[in-house]
Amino acid sequence: MSVAAVVPAAGSGTRLGAALPKAFVPLAGVPIVVRAVGGLLDSGAVDEVVVAVPGDLLDRARELFVGRPVRVLAGGGERTASVRLALELLCGSHGGERPSGPAGDGPPEVVLVHDAARPLTPPALIASVVAAVRAGHPAVVPALPLADTVKQVCEGAVERTVDRSELRAVQTPQGFAYETLRRAYEKAGDSGDTATDDAGLVERLGEPVVTVPGDPAAFKVTTAWDLRIAELLLEGS
Ligand code: C5P
């Protein structure tokens, strides 16, 4: 069963406040996207990776992944657009490069979608998501319980306290039977642009989405604070 991973890395990362798009910011000397892709390949569960990057960084990205089973393409204006373009490349309907990865010329059976912005995701977590899809679940997300109390707020005033025992924070990689994710993107059309994750589009199909235990190390680097935490974790490892 071939497994491909799609890595959306085309965001500008304005909340990080760096001079470079977030995925290309060095984390302890190595660009964030290189660490994220390295974790996928180190898991031993992923055959090839497709990375969506800002159009003006295509050449830079190609240099970063020379010799690895990685293809790069220019992403879109929203995260979902970047994932959609990468899926089209995987299934061979993209106008540009033809599939040439180790997974062969057709689409893979399993596809992961993994934020470039999660550079410290443990390979064991990646392998556990793939294993759950292989076991027959069409959509799998890593999830963590919430530590904080959660309140719904309107214009600074608390409206209600939400029962956190039923809530989970969801990470990536999210894993899918390829055909399920393809149908989810097909159904979503342009309305998918508001989705903040891929499993949300599968939910709109009415298909089951199951969870596996997430890992705090798979946190998303969004702000300068997150980047500092990631640096400290690497120093301590
Ligand atoms: O902005 P945020 O951190 O939520 O983005 C999640 C991931 O989606 C990041 O890895 C980012 O690079 C990617 N992204 C993308 N194309 C966009 C916007 C975000 O690939 N247009």
pLDDT in tens, 127-139: 999 999 999 999 9
Atom of ligand 1 lying closest to residue 33 CA: 10
Domain CATH code at residue 122 = 3.90.550.10
- What would you measure as the largest C-alpha separation in the chain, in angstroms? 55
Distance in angstroms between the alpha carbons of the first and the last residue of the chain: 34
Q: Is the pLDDT of residue 63 over 80?
A: yes
> Could you please report the per-residue DSSP string of the chain?
--EEEEEE-----GGGT-SS-GGGSEETTEEHHHHHHHHHHHTT--SEEEEEE-GGGHHHHHHHTTTSSEEEEE--SSHHHHHHHHHHHHHT-SSSPPP-STT-SS--SEEEE--TT-TT--HHHHHHHHHHHHTT-SEEEEEEE--S-EEEEETTEEEEEE-GGG-EEE-S-EEEEHHHHHHHHHHHGGGGGG-SSSHHHHHHHT---EEEE--GGG----SHHHHHHHHHHHHT-
pTM for the structure as a whole: 0.94
Ligand 1, residues 12, 37, 82, 174: which to mutate, most atoms within 8 A of Cβ?
Answer: 82
Q: Provide the pLDDT for residue 95.
A: 43
Q: Is the pLDDT of residue 36 over 80?
A: yes
Average pLDDT, the chain: 93
Query: Residue of the nearest CA to atom 6 in ligand 1?
Result: 115
% of the chain at pLDDT higher than 90: 86
Q: How far apart are CA 16 and CA 1, in angstroms?
A: 38
Say which residue the tokens 């793939």 belong to: 130
Q: What is the domain range of residue 64?
A: 3-236
What residues line ligand 1, using a CB cutoff of 6 Å? Answer: 8-11, 22-23, 52, 75-79, 82, 115-117, 220, 222
Ligand 1, residues 6, 25, 84, 115: which to mutate, most atoms within 8 A of Cβ?
Answer: 115
Please state the separation of Cα 21 from the chain's center in Å: 16
Please count the structural domains in the chain: 1
Cβ atoms of residues 16 and 222 within 8 Å: yes
Structure tokens at 222: 């969004």
pLDDT in tens, 203-237: 999 999 999 999 999 999 999 999 999 999 999 88
Tally the C-alpha atoms within 13 A of residue 148's C-alpha that lie toward its C-beta. Answer: 4
C-alpha 34 – ligand 1 centre gap (Å): 15
